[in-house]
C-alpha cells in the first residue's frame, strides 16, 4: 500500500472514468437515471449516495483503516448520527474533558430520548469499571481532549470495551489519521469534525464517520440515510481539496506549536502549558506510543486572570476566534466560549478555569507568531502594572 502522504495527495485523482480529470468533479445532481427497471448505476438519490461524496467517504474509510465512511454536514451531525445508534435506556461512558457541543448534545437532547451518560477520565480503568452499568452500550473517547489535552491509552481502553461488549467511539479530530488511527488500536467507530484539521482552511463545515465491521457499517449506512444530515457535493470537494495537503500542514502545525509551547513554558507570566509534546505532560509516553506526532493546538494558563482580556485585545496576527485546525492561528477563551455549556463545577474539576487560554497554532512563520504573542503578553503585563500603580 502507498504511504499515507501519497494517499492523501491522490484523493480523488484516479477515479474519474470519463474525462480522466485529476481533480474529481463536483457532481451537482440529486437524481440519477435508472438504465432500466430494476437497474441502478449505483447512484439513485443523493441523500443515500452521491458521487463526489462517495470518493471522500471511501478515502476517509481507507485512511482510518475502517470498512465504511460517511460524510455529514458537520461534526455535530456526525455525532448525532452515531448517537442515534443507541436506544432508549442505553448508557454511555464519556471522556470528562469533552468538546462542549458533544456534552450539550448528550445532556440536552439525547437525555430526552432516554440515553444517559457518565463522564469519567477515560484513561482510568478503575473509573471505567466504576461507571460501567448493565445497560452501558458505548464508550466515547477524545484523545487528546480539548482543551486540557488529556491522553487516553486507546489500545488498553478499547480492549476493555471489547471485553464488556460495548462499542468504542473515538473523536479523532485533533490528531487526524495522519497522526493517529484509533481503529488500528481497537476502536469500532471514529468520528471527525472535518471542519478542523482535515478541511484545514477555516472554510468548510463537515463531519466524518468511519466504522469497522459489517454490522456497524450497515447500521451506520441506515442511520446516515435516514437522518439525512449528509454533506453536499461542493463541500465534499472542498474537504478533499483540503485533505490533500494534510501531511504537510500537520507537520508545520506541530513544529510551530512545539516551539511556542516551549517559549511559553519559560515565560514569567505563564503558570502552566498543556501540550502532550512536552516531556512534562502526564500523557507524553502514551501519546508517543499510539500516535506518530502531535496536534497543533494546546492550552496554557496565565498566572493572573486579569491578563486574559488584554492579551486577547493585543494579539494581531493571531486572531481571537473559536475553532481550531486551520492554517490561520486562532486563540480562544474556553471558559466563556467553547465550553460555556459545561457546568462550572465540572469545568473547575477538570481545570477549565478563567486563567486558561487555548491556542490553535497555524502554519505562519514561527518568528512572526512568537513576536505577536510576546508583544501581547508584554502589553497586557504593562497595562496590569499601570493599573496597580495608579
Taking each helix axis as running N to C, give the angle between helix 233-243 and helix 51-63, from 0 to 180 degrees, rounded to the nearest 10. 40
Active site residue 49: no
Query: Which stretch of DSSP H or E encloses residue 300?
Result: strand 297-302
DSSP notation for 88-130: TT-EEEEESS--HHHHHIIIIIGGGGT-EEEEE-TT-HHHHHH
Is 94 an interacting residue with respect to ligand PLP (CB under 6 A)? no
Active site residue 171: yes
Active site residue 272: no
Is 74 an interacting residue with respect to ligand PLP (CB under 6 A)? yes
Is 101 an interacting residue with respect to ligand PLP (CB under 6 A)? yes
Indicate the residue among 209 and 286 with the shorter CB distance to ligand PLP.
Answer: 209
CB of 191 to ligand PLP, least distance (A): 7
Active site residue 90: no
Please state, in angstroms and rounded to a whole number, the distance separating the CA atoms of residues 245 and 5. 8
Prior bond of 276 cis (ω within 30°): no
> Cell digits for 291?
500516535
Indicate the residue among 256 and 295 with the shorter CB distance to ligand PLP.
Answer: 295
Residue appearing with cell numbers 470537494: 237
Indicate the residue among 106 and 380 with the shorter CB distance to ligand PLP.
Answer: 106
Whether 148 and 274 have beta carbons less than 8 Å apart is answered as: yes
Part of the chain binding ligand PLP (CB under 6 A), chosen from 45-53, 68-76, 111-119, 313-321: 68-76
In the set 173, 256, 287, 295, which binds ligand PLP (CB under 6 A)? 173
CB of 237 to ligand PLP, least distance (A): 17
- Residues facing 319 on adjacent strands: 330
In the set 205, 240, 330, 342, which binds ligand PLP (CB under 6 A)? 205
Residue 225 — φ and ψ, nearest 5°? Answer: -75, -35
Q: Which residues belong to the active site?
A: 47, 99, 171, 196
The residues binding ligand PLP (CB under 6 A) are: 74-76, 99, 101-102, 142, 146, 171, 173, 193, 195-196, 205, 207
Amino acid at each position: 500500500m502507498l504511504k499515507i502522504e501519497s494517499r492523501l495527495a491522490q484523493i480523488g485523482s484516479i477515479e474519474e472514468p470519463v474525462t480522466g480529470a485529476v481533480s474529481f468533479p463536483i457532481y451537482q445532481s440529486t437524481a440519477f437515471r435508472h438504465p432500466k427497471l430494476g437497474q441502478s448505476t449505483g447512484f439513485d438519490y443523493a441523500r443515500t449516495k452521491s458521487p463526489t461524496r462517495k470518493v471522500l467517504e471511501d478515502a476517509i474509510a481507507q485512511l482510518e483503516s475502517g470498512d465504511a465512511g460517511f460524510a455529514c454536514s458537520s461534526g455535530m451531525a456526525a455525532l448525532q448520527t452515531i448517537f442515534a445508534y443507541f436506544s432508549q435506556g442505553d448508557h454511555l461512558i464519556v471522556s470528562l474533558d469533552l468538546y462542549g457541543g458533544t456534552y450539550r448534545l448528550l445532556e440536552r437532547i439525547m437525555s430526552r430520548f432516554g440515553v444517559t451518560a457518565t463522564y469519567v477520565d477515560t484513561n482510568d480503568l478503575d473509573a471505567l469499571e466504576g461507571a460501567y452499568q448493565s445497560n452501558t452500550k458505548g464508550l466515547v473517547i477524545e484523545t487528546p481532549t480539548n482543551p486540557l489535552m488529556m491522553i487516553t491509552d486507546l489500545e488498553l481502553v478499547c480492549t476493555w470495551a471489547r471485553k464488556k461488549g460495548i462499542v468504542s467511539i473515538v473523536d479523532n479530530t485533533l490528531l487526524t489519521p495522519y497522526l493517529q488511527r484509533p481503529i488500528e488500536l481497537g476502536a469500532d467507530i471514529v468520528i471527525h469534525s472535518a471542519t478542523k484539521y482535515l478541511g484545514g482552511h477555516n472554510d468548510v463545515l463537515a463531519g466524518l464517520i468511519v466504522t469497522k465491521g459489517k454490522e456497524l457499517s450497515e447500521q451506520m449506512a441506515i442511520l446516515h440515510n435516514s437522518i439525512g444530515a449528509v454533506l453536499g457535493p461542493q463541500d465534499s470537494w472542498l474537504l478533499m481539496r483540503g485533505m490533500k495537503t494534510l501531511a504537510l500542514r500537520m507537520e508545520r502545525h506541530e513544529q510551530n506549536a512545539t516551539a511556542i509551547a516551549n517559549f511559553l513554558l519559560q515565560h514569567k507570566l505563564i503558570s502552566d502549558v498543556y501540550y502532550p509534546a512536552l516531556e512534562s505532560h502526564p500523557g507524553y509516553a502514551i501519546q508517543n506510543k499510539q500516535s506518530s506526532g502531535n496536534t497543533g493546538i494546546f492550552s496554557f494558563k496565565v498566572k493572573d486572570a486579569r491578563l486574559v482580556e488584554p492579551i486577547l485585545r493585543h494579539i494581531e496576527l493571531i486572531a481571537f476566534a473559536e475553532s481550531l485546525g486551520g492554517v490561520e492561528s486562532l486563540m480562544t477563551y474556553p471558559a466563556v466560549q467553547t465550553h460555556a455549556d459545561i457546568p462550572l463545577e465540572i469545568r473547575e474539576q477538570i481545570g477549565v478555569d478563567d486563567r486558561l487560554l487555548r491556542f490553535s497554532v497555524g502554519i505562519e512563520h514561527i518568528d512572526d507568531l512568537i513576536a505577536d504573542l510576546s508583544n501581547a503578553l508584554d502589553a497586557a503585563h504593562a497595562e496590569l502594572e499601570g493599573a496597580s500603580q495608579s
